[in-house]
Amino acid sequence: MRRHLLALLISAACAHHTAKGQSEYQTDSIFIRKIFNTALSDGKCYEVLRDLCFKVGPRLSGSAGAAKAVQYTRNVMIEQQFDNVFLQDVIVPHWIRGAKEQGWIVTGKTGKIAVPITALGGSISTPKGGITAQVIEVKNFQELREKDPALVKGKIVFFNRPMDPTRFSTFDAYAGAVDQRGSGASEAAKMGAIGCIVRSMTTRLDDIPHTGSMRYASGVPMIPAASVSTNAAELLSKTLAKNPQTKFHFQQNCETLPDVASHNVIGELRGAAKADHYIVVGGHLDSWDFGHGAHDDGSGCVQSIESLRLLRALGYKPNHTLRAVMYMNEENGLKGGMAYADSARSKKEKHLAAIESDRGGFTPLGFGIVGSARQKEKIKSWAKLFAPYGMHQLGVGGGGADIGPLGPLGTTLLGLMPDTQRYFDYHHAPNDTFDKVNKRELELGAAAMAAMVYLIDKYGLE
């Protein structure tokens, strides 16, 4: 009898628990539906992005555009009546492209075929008048190192390993090729080269050169480095196959100026229960210096602002303080991300979670997670709440560059993971413009971030 009673009690307790779980699930499901519906029917982020693209434009760290972007996004969050909007000081590098970058394949004594090139971010200038030299084409560092240094000396090294088009995730393809851009110049210089050109980081064959950061290894001569469009890379490679003596010419006038005072831009919705515990959403405010930086990372910035605006518009009262952070200087220094984490550390601000959107404003498919197994399981237990919106990947992939420095502080890191197929068509290139962003796709990402913030704010990550 007592055993029966116990069984009955346990059963009743479980039923209660299940009923409670069901009811919570219903509540969450309904609220998340409201988030998505509001984002899709009354979203603001597409118009904010339009202004960021057309009224602000490109915004490389240290530039007038970057300063304008700081003021613009600050004003947006003030106008949207965030509880608190403030700037956080960040000292950033100031590299400029300069005027007149050009390149050509030298054909015969006087002939030339002009090809699209662009200086890599951080590169030095060529000598005045440019460099003209024979070309050593290689696919990777190993192939270069096996060359006779006498052969490489005084030449231009041409890194021409394409991004692997068979990788389903274009980010994987990028990861497999970007060492050429990042370290190619120093690898070439170690062998005595006087210049470095790199095939653009895209799977497309077109005439658009893609820039991106490079760094010089210490103790190695600095040589100028540029990217060439994929079509130009193909042409140069074919030309070299016919005539290995073919020369290439390029000229660029880039320069690294003294560091500049800049800012992260932070907007807050204050928490009711635990105002000194934070959940942050963010993207990086800087972009490269051409196009609009629409996908990279205008999208992530406006989605972050929108995700908090949506929660407020729906009357949600957060437990923790929610922050939208526009990080400065992701592209060529990560100073904003580091400054944010430094500040959090010194102020002993407890950050539960940081979410970043920096993979383009495309249809969201899930979130990457960097956290404990238990935290991952907890987040994955919310899968059913995201499924109606096409998001079926929770826990595939990592966080994001800007939030990385928060990791050592015990913050769970999440990265919004959109469809990757188109991203590198536009990445770091003049065609990363507003028209490439689809309104609905952008809004879905913002809604997904809002839903994730809501769930973490409500349930925590313990």
Catalytic positions, written as ranges? 330
CA-nearest of 460, 318, 449, 278 to 375 is 460
For a second copy, the closer of residues 62 and 395 by Cβ is 395
Q: Which 8-state DSSP code applies to residue 123? A: P
CA angle, 437 then 443 then 449, to 5°: 120
Q: Indicate the SS3 state at residue 338.
A: helix
Q: Indicate the SS3 state at residue 229.
A: coil
* Residues 6 or more apart in contact with residue 220 via CB below 8 angstroms: 186, 189, 190
For a second copy, the closer of residues 351 and 359 by Cβ is 359
CA-nearest of 249, 250, 232, 247 to 134 is 247
Helices (H), 82-222: 141-145, 149-152, 170-175, 179-190
Rounded Cα gap, residues 264 and 283, in angstroms? 10
Q: How many CB atoms lie within 10 A of CB 202?
A: 26
Positive/negative CA dihedral, 102, 107, 113, 119: negative
Q: Which 8-state DSSP code applies to residue 44? A: -
Give the nearest distance from C-beta 59 to a second copy in angstroms. 26
Give the nearest distance from C-beta 37 to a second copy in angstroms. 4
* Exposed/middle/buried for residue 54 (C-beta within 10 Å: 0-12, 13-18, 19+): exposed
Rounded Cα gap, residues 27 and 29, in angstroms? 6
361-388 b/e (C-beta count within 10 Å ≥ 16 → b):
bbbbbbbbbbbeeebbebbeebeebbee
Give the nearest distance from C-beta 85 to a second copy in angstroms. 29
Give the nearest distance from C-beta 205 to a second copy in angstroms. 9
Give the nearest distance from C-beta 43 to a second copy in angstroms. 9
Give the nearest distance from C-beta 363 to a second copy in angstroms. 5
Beta bridge mates, 404: none
Give the nearest distance from C-beta 362 to a second copy in angstroms. 9
For a second copy, the closer of residues 72 and 426 by Cβ is 426
For a second copy, the closer of residues 302 and 352 by Cβ is 302
For a second copy, the closer of residues 250 and 362 by Cβ is 362
For a second copy, the closer of residues 83 and 419 by Cβ is 419
Q: Indicate the SS3 state at residue 326.
A: strand
Give the nearest distance from C-beta 29 to a second copy in angstroms. 14
For a second copy, the closer of residues 286 and 425 by Cβ is 425
For a second copy, the closer of residues 35 and 328 by Cβ is 35
Rounded Cα gap, residues 225 and 195, in angstroms? 6
Strand pairing category for 111-115 and 102-107: antiparallel
Rounded Cα gap, residues 342 and 303, in angstroms? 24
**Contact residues for a second copy, defined by CB under 8 A:** 36-37, 40-41, 165-166, 168, 170, 203-204, 363, 365, 388-390, 392, 419, 421-422, 425, 438-441, 444
CA distances in angstroms from 365 to 119, 281, 382, 390, 454, listed in the order given: 34, 17, 14, 6, 18
Phi, psi of 45 (to 5 degrees): -70, -25
